[in-house]
Structure 1
Amino acid sequence: MKLSDKIAAHPTHPFYTFEFFPPRTDQGFDNLLTRISRLSTLDPIAISVTWGAGGSTKDGSLDLAGITQADYGIDTILHLTCTNMVPGLVDDVLRIAKARGIQNILALRGDPPRGQEHWTPIDSRFSRGVDLVKYIRSSPEFSPHFCIGVAAYPEGHPDNQTDDDRNFAILKEKVEAGADFIVTQLFYDADRFLLWLERVRRQGISVPIIPGVMPIQTHSSFLRVVSLCGIQVPPSIMTDLEPIRHDDQLVKEYGIRLAVDIIHKITGNGGVCGVHFCTLNLEKSVQLVLERLRWVGGSPNIRNKLIADSPVPLLPNSELVVTPATATTKAAAALTSKTTAEIEPPGQGELNNAATWDDFPNGRFGDYKSPAFGIQDQWGGLALSVHAVHPDWGHPASMEELTNLFLRYLDSKVTSTPFSSSPLSAESQTILHQLKALTRNGLWTVCSQPAVDTLPSTDEIFGWGPRGGYVSQKAFIEFFSTEEVVDKIEKKIRSNEGRSVHYFAANLQGCFKSNVQEEARNAVTWGVFPGKEIVQTTIIERESFLAWKEEAFSIWAEWASFYPPGSAQRATLEEVRRTRWLVNVLHHDFKDPGALWNFLADFYS
């Protein structure tokens, strides 16, 4: 059914839509379908499926949208972007969507294609979202079938946040071209949104507007989304978060309350009748927000279960406090956010119950079977995309210059690399000497963590989860190196000295080496909390390593693409991509903080 018709059937009763992205792994895809099935019992008016950054998940998007629409009978909105749309592909996608019963399209320009600083069209007919709207509306084959939505940016488009008049003109052009509804970028300033909404209506734009809402999950993921989307956060929110930023349970609870407050404010004046939830493929926060809004009925079991599972007792008439996650970051903060699976009652292992998998942003070290595996931003990207070469990176034209860049990052002389969007974490500072020693010897480190033997969950550097618990972790290191180094590590592991060491290594050509059994899962970070089973938040295993390997080598390609063919910079970066290996080494003796570094001493002595 067309979304515009469904909205017309809800003139006063609030409605909501849920947004999902195609997971990176087959297991995650299958388990997302189960998660969507559960969330569909909350009666969303529709769900939407993203197209993926740079059009990178086209097939997954079509498969997911086709299954939810045709097999599950859930009205689905397929995101469609102009990015990487080769001639003929728009028609192909629209025909597939039509054949699968999908009647709703969200027409977007999309992010720049991977490896490009600025957006450039592949098919000259499609350079803006409005071009897609016009094309669909001009087609006798597609126009009668599809309801079309477009995006709006209450705080200005990321490419144009200063010229409000132009932004309003672009939005009006899209509506006049035939858009039936508008979905906004997420925001956290309700007052500013309402002022923007009032101005939109004064422009004569009368189609339904669905505000984008994303409950805060962890402090680190919140900061990343704010930076990525250019969102302006009211100072009061940042002030509220500051004293609780290290308590993941309290941050998530605050995020739920904030989402409820924002939705109450923006729907209370009659300007909007529904909201669009950016779920990040998660479920518990959305459930609780809808519960507290009293927008869903017949779901007391959700609240009863969460009360039973709550790690702290609820006081009479108190708000529900939800279960924890962690937001500690490693050497490459954008790639290593810790994540926690939803804690289960005794007798149900958190890795065994798919209904309650990770309910927090699940980075590349989370459970690869989770529907949220690999997410680092709202568009479903696993890793940092280069997009633009940062001036602080310089223009490395040799291996020595690359080594110098990684060293300058470790010395905090630059705040990012192509593999990390954030400065070096306080945790990584505790092993700075070892990281620098490895890097000076050509082992360019991108991820790491030191060993920790039982610290309070409130520890300023290593703590995560709710108060009253204790956390531990094994040391690991991840780096790019030559094949010679891989061979030496492999040889050393075969000796008695390597009996407590596991490793993964892979290159661009698909060669893979490891001493880890195929189905083995190394939990390298865990927490013990009162009344709960052990929570394993950081997992290193084959599937997630190989998924990240593809991204890691694509970053080298993107970086190289900024330099002309034949240049020293391009030749160097392409040589790295062609000849280097990505290596992950972990040591299981977490009681000895020096165990891993002693094992690797031959590589930096």
Structure 2
Amino acid sequence: MKLKQKLENRSRPFYTFEFFPPKTDQGFSNLLGRIERMAVFNPLAISVTWGASGSTKDRSLELAGLTQAEYGIETILHLTCTNTEGGMIDEALKGAKAHGIQNILALRGDPPRGAEYWIPTDPRFVHAKDLVAYIRSEPEYAEQFCVGVAGYPDGHPDHDVDEETELENLKAKVDAGADYIVTQLFYDVDGFLDWVKKVRAKGIQVPIIPGIMPIQSYASFLRVTKLCGTRIPSEIIAALDPIKHDDQKIKDYGIKLCINMIRRLYQEGHIQGYHFCTLNLEKSVRKVLEGLQWIGDGQKPAENKLIAESEEEREQAVNGESTLIITPHDATVSAMSSLAGKAPSEAGSVGRGELNHAATWDEFPNGRFGDFKSPAYGLQDLWDASSGLGVKPEQARAQWGYPKSVEDLTNFFLSYLHSKDGTTPFSSGPLFAETQMIIPHLEKLTKRGWWTVGSQPTVDAAPSEDEVVGWGPRGGYVFQKAFVEFFADPEDLQWLKNVVNKRGGGKVSFLAANVEGEYESNLEDDATNAVTWGIFPGQEVAQPTIIERENFLAWKDEAFGIWGAWAQIYPPDSAERKVLDHVRKTRWLVSVIHHDYKDTDALWTFLLQD
């Protein structure tokens, strides 16, 4: 059934869930199990995102088709139209139709590249309204699809226009034939309610479904809100700052915040429908719906009482009372005996208790160093936000200049280490405080021509409250093995392999891959390296950072894609394009781990030896 029909004459709250296609096969398989469990919450629909320029086309169609066929839930397929090759849009629409999908969310995608990017794209699609109009004008698609479009309560992150112009753009999409609006995520409820009034004043009467994203971790919150240009009310910043190193507290606060936001939207804005950006995670959405009493035994509309959010109440709710005391010695012994993955053996398996439950084994976003088996592994950018380089071409050129040689690139990465440049294509912000501890070592590697893009120092039982390296609940201890990741020439990789064999002593591991898919390592294919872990009162060992073959190779694809995207902001025959393309084609991405986390200089002494 088309979503437009399901939205008609609804008298109770409803919600939709958004998922993205995972980067790995096991993540994809485990996501299907997650969707099956979340289907019992009776969402009105499930939506599946579409990678920039159709980069996840096959996986998106496969996932949307399975959710439509296997779980009997209406599926909304996101479709971005810019920067696509000729024929891709028709191919996607025909594929959706073949899978029985009747709902499309029509998005622009990344800023149209066109002439500035010097690459060919389908000229028919420059804006989302072009895609809406195309679907409505083609007899094969006009009656097949219900079409939604995006709304931006905080303004479009890539549009340097005033609010009035942005509202006119939204009206143009609706006038082209859109049936409903799903908004980008937001946290300013007052601003959203004012925006809705302005939308209605424009004569736009189609349903508006607000996008809601529970905060899953501080890092993912900062990254996503920056990409989306989201306004963050000062009271939220004030609440997050004292707990930013404890992801569980952040997550619990995010649940309460979403409950309060939805209750206000329901009561003050009379808004019935909500679109949950799940980030492929399950627990927070479930707890929000339970808090609203929209699922479970006491299903009913939102009540008037808001969840209290005082610091004292958060401490009581999140921490509880615990008298368990641990020491650095206990933590080290526990870590040595307990470093093992906690993933279910199969998508639908459920162990005993919360810790091993299939719904909760991966409660947090899994970035490039996460568990590749997680449905949330390799968190992708949200729809219609900048991807690839994460900034506009003119901004990229202004920030990163015009490198014309390998020497220029070495100086560029050195400049970043010296805090002269705030970002690189591989780092969206300045260096972390803990990285300052190893700057002299990274500088020496970079001068050698090994451009570092990831690293961390050793940490041996530092208190979890430590302002530089601490994380997690209070009263715990955190640990890190030193590792460094860099791009190097084939000759340098050969040198590294030789010294690992001769002088590694079994304490040094490396992984290396190039753009062609060649892979080398002294690790077994199924080996798992936890390079960051923590021991906390009353909890099992937490392992937020893992380096293993599968997640390294997935990151490798993204890393070399960044070199390609960087090259494309310069003309094809330019010295900049040539040197960046040469680097992408010839260099290897290398990650080196030293397992002696009690010797702060072990990794650097090993790498910087003659």
Return the alpha-carbon distance in structure 2 between the equivalents of residues 152 and 123 of structure 1: 24
Residues 465-503 of structure 1, C-alpha deviation per residue, up to 9 Å, x if partnerless? 212221111111000111111111111111243421110
Return the alpha-carbon distance in structure 1 between the equivalents of residues 119 and 608 of structure 2: 47
Residues 2-23 of structure 1, C-alpha deviation per residue, up to 9 Å, x if partnerless? 111212252x211011111111
Going from structure 1 to structure 2, the CA distance change for 1:243 and 1:531 (only over 3 Å counts) comes to: closer
Q: Which residue of 1 aligns with 2:264?
A: 265
Return the alpha-carbon distance in structure 2 between the equivalents of residues 382 and 499 of structure 1: 39
Q: Which residue of 1 aligns with 2:219?
A: 220
Return the alpha-carbon distance in structure 1 between the equivalents of residues 147 and 7 of structure 2: 13
Check if 1:2 corresponds to 2:2. Answer: yes
Contact 1:361 1:376 (8 Å CA) reproduced: no
Question: Equivalences for 1:421-432 in 2 at 5 Å?
Answer: 421-432=428-439
Question: Equivalences for 1:141-156 in 2 at 5 Å?
Answer: 141-156=140-155
Contact 1:221 1:376 (8 Å CA) reproduced: no
Question: Equivalences for 1:279-318 in 2 at 5 Å?
Answer: 279-298=278-297
Check if 1:211 corresponds to 2:207. Answer: no
Return the alpha-carbon distance in structure 2 between the equivalents of residues 164 and 150 of structure 1: 17
Question: Equivalences for 1:73-222 in 2 at 5 Å?
Answer: 73-112=72-111, 122-160=121-159, 162-222=161-221
Residues 88-128 of structure 1, C-alpha deviation per residue, up to 9 Å, x if partnerless? 32222222212211111101111136899779982222221
Unaligned runs of 5+ in 2: 300-311, 321-340, 345-349
Counterpart amino acid of 2:514?
Answer: N
Contact 1:384 1:420 (8 Å CA) reproduced: no
Which of 347, 358, 361 is the aligned partner of 2:365? 361
TM-align CA RMSD: 2.8
Return the alpha-carbon distance in structure 1 between the equivalents of residues 169 and 271 of structure 2: 21
Shift of 1:83: 2.3
Return the alpha-carbon distance in structure 2 between the equivalents of residues 147 and 319 of structure 1: 43
Identity across matched positions, percent: 58
Shift of 1:352: 7.0
Contact 2:388 2:561 (8 Å CA) reproduced: no
Q: Which residue of 1 aligns with 2:445?
A: 438
Shift of 1:444: 0.6
Q: Which residue of 1 aligns with 2:603?
A: 596
Residues 551-601 of structure 1, C-alpha deviation per residue, up to 9 Å, x if partnerless? 211222222222223322222212211221110000111111111111112
Return the alpha-carbon distance in structure 2 between the equivalents of residues 427 and 502 of structure 1: 22
Return the alpha-carbon distance in structure 1 between the equivalents of residues 243 and 541 of structure 2: 23
Return the alpha-carbon distance in structure 2 between the equivalents of residues 447 and 214 of structure 1: 28
Going from structure 1 to structure 2, the CA distance change for 1:515 and 1:120 (only over 3 Å counts) comes to: closer
> Residue 140 of structure 2: SS of its match in structure 1?
coil
Shift of 1:145: 2.0
Going from structure 1 to structure 2, the CA distance change for 1:164 and 1:253 (only over 3 Å counts) comes to: same
Shift of 1:316: 13
Return the alpha-carbon distance in structure 1 between the equivalents of residues 129 and 574 of structure 2: 38
> Residue 494 of structure 1: SS of its match in structure 2?
helix
Which of 370, 375, 382 is the aligned partner of 1:371? 375
Q: Name segments (4+ residues, structure 1) moved above 3 Å.
A: 112-121, 314-322, 340-343, 346-355, 379-387
> Residue 41 of structure 2: SS of its match in structure 1?
coil
Return the alpha-carbon distance in structure 2 between the equivalents of residues 83 and 552 of structure 1: 22
Check if 1:42 corresponds to 2:49. Answer: no
Residues 332-388 of structure 1, C-alpha deviation per residue, up to 9 Å, x if partnerless? xxxxxxxx9899xx9879997643232222110000111111115334999755652
Which of 547, 567, 580 is the aligned partner of 1:573? 580
Counterpart amino acid of 1:547?
Answer: A
Q: Which residue of 1 aligns with 2:14?
A: 15
Return the alpha-carbon distance in structure 2 between the equivalents of residues 549 and 88 of structure 1: 29
- Aligned residue pairs total 570
Return the alpha-carbon distance in structure 1 between the equivalents of residues 99 and 519 of structure 2: 39
When normalised by structure 2's length, the TM-score is 0.88
> Residue 409 of structure 2: SS of its match in structure 1?
helix
Residues 12-53 of structure 1, C-alpha deviation per residue, up to 9 Å, x if partnerless? 211011111111111111111111111111111101001112
Return the alpha-carbon distance in structure 1 between the equivalents of residues 122 and 163 of structure 2: 28
Contact 2:253 2:314 (8 Å CA) reproduced: no
When normalised by structure 1's length, the TM-score is 0.88
Shift of 1:226: 1.8
Q: Which residue of 2 aligns with 1:500?
A: 507
Contact 2:351 2:357 (8 Å CA) reproduced: no
Return the alpha-carbon distance in structure 1 between the equivalents of residues 542 and 154 of structure 2: 39
Shift of 1:540: 0.5
Return the alpha-carbon distance in structure 2 between the equivalents of residues 8 and 39 of structure 1: 24
Going from structure 1 to structure 2, the CA distance change for 1:296 and 1:400 (only over 3 Å counts) comes to: same
Going from structure 1 to structure 2, the CA distance change for 1:9 and 1:516 (only over 3 Å counts) comes to: farther
Going from structure 1 to structure 2, the CA distance change for 1:545 and 1:105 (only over 3 Å counts) comes to: same
Going from structure 1 to structure 2, the CA distance change for 1:164 and 1:290 (only over 3 Å counts) comes to: same
Going from structure 1 to structure 2, the CA distance change for 1:66 and 1:272 (only over 3 Å counts) comes to: same
Unaligned runs of 5+ in 1: 301-313, 323-339
Shift of 1:286: 0.8
Shift of 1:230: 1.0
Shift of 1:515: 0.4
Question: Equivalences for 1:163-562 in 2 at 5 Å?
Answer: 163-298=162-297, 319=317, 354-375=358-379, 377-379=381-383, 384-385=389-390, 387-388=392-393, 389-562=396-569
Return the alpha-carbon distance in structure 1 between the equivalents of residues 571 and 160 of structure 2: 31
> Residue 296 of structure 2: SS of its match in structure 1?
coil
Q: Which residue of 1 aligns with 2:306?
A: none
Return the alpha-carbon distance in structure 2 between the equivalents of residues 57 and 45 of structure 1: 24
Return the alpha-carbon distance in structure 2 between the equivalents of residues 316 and 385 of structure 1: 34
